[in-house]
């Protein structure tokens, strides 16, 4: 039996990268999935891959910045599976590093609307069914916020806002049996791979800061997500760095 047998999870930003890795890990542990992804082609590919493995999947194409998308995802989870137990907020608009002085209002809005407000939308929409049985919310932070990364002021600010939101709501919802935590990964996402392709010196410098000498894999992040999502977990309001020791707060 899997740790998450019979449970239902919504995973945003699950068309590729860490979102897809975490969705797959939850499914391997027994969860049924509702995938939410902005890009339809990525969504179809991700859902098809999981369905080919016999996993029950509902696929929703939509922008997490739209509260109606969150409401629809929750409604479809309940209509299809009868319950909602886990929410992973992984969707986030990304951009390559750019100096702070060049980051305009539109840049900040894209980061905050997709990351912070997307997380708010799905948390608020998911609260009623999560309250019925208790459950787990996993939000995504970043070392760009906890430690600071050059060229990622808006991104780091959005991620730190998510951590503040997580701590506050963890205290508010704890009495309802809802645990809320943050994962800060340092993993080789598709965007990071593209960034380092022409910058081997930057990759070497980044790895020198890592105690384990490598970035996390999707399986590393997925294993942590399964642990945090499991009813056996008694952790809430915390930030867990899954980065091989790159950040040691």
Tell me if 247 is assigned to some domain: no
Give the domain extent around 46: 8-242
Q: How many domains does the chain have?
A: 1
Which positions are annotated as active-site residues? 155
Q: List the 57-61 sheet strands across, edge first.
A: 57-61, 32-37, 8-12, 86-89, 135-140, 178-185, 239-242
- Read off φ and ψ for residue 150, nearest 5 degrees: -55, 135
Tell me if 170 is assigned to some domain: yes
Give tens-digit pLDDT for 61-116.
999 999 999 999 999 999 999 999 999 999 999 888 899 999 999 999 999 999 99
Q: With CA atoms as reference, report the closest residue to 16 among 49, 55, 54.
A: 49
Give the angle subtended at the CA of 48 by the CAs of 180 and 67, to the nearest 5°. Answer: 40
Q: Give the global pTM.
A: 0.92
Q: In the predicted model, what is the mean pLDDT of the chain? A: 92
Give tens-digit pLDDT for 134-184.
999 999 999 887 888 888 999 999 999 999 999 999 999 999 999 999 999
> 34 with 60: CB under 8 angstroms?
yes
Q: CA–CA separation, 139 vs 85, rounded Å?
A: 14
Q: CA–CA separation, 191 vs 143, rounded Å?
A: 16
Tell me if 2 is assigned to some domain: no
Q: What percent of the chain has pLDDT over 70?
A: 94
Tell me if 1 is assigned to some domain: no
CATH value at residue 199 = 3.40.50.720
Tell me if 185 is assigned to some domain: yes
């Amino acid at each position: 039996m899997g740790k998450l047998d019979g449970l239902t999870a919504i995973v945003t930003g699950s068309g590729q990268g860490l979102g897809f890795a975490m969705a797959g890990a939850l499914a391997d542990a027994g969860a049924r999935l509702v995938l939410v992804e902005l890009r339809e082609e990525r969504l179809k590919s991700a859902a098809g891959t999981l369905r080919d493995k016999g996993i029950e999947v509902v696929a929703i194409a939509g922008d997490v910045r739209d509260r109606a998308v969150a409401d629809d995802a929750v409604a479809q989870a309940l209509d299809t599976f009868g319950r909602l137990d886990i929410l992973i907020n992984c969707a986030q608009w990304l951009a390559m590093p750019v100096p702070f002085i060049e980051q305009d209002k539109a840049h900040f809005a894209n980061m905050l609307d997709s990351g912070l407000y997307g997380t708010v939308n799905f948390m608020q929409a998911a609260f009623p069914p999560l309250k019925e049985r208790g459950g787990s919310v996993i939000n995504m932070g970043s070392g760009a916020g906890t430690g600071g990364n050059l060229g990622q002021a808006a991104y780091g600010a959005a991620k730190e806002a998510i951590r503040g939101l997580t701590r506050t709501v963890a205290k508010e919802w704890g009495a309802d049996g809802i645990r809320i935590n943050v994962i800060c990964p340092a993993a080789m996402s598709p965007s990071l791979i593209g960034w380092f392709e022409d910058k081997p010196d930057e990759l070497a410098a980044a790895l020198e800061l890592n105690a384990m000498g490598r970035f996390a894999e999707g399986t590393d992040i997925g294993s942590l997500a399964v642990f945090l999502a499991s009813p056996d977990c008694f952790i809430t309001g915390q930030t867990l760095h899954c980065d091989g020791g790159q950040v040691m707060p």
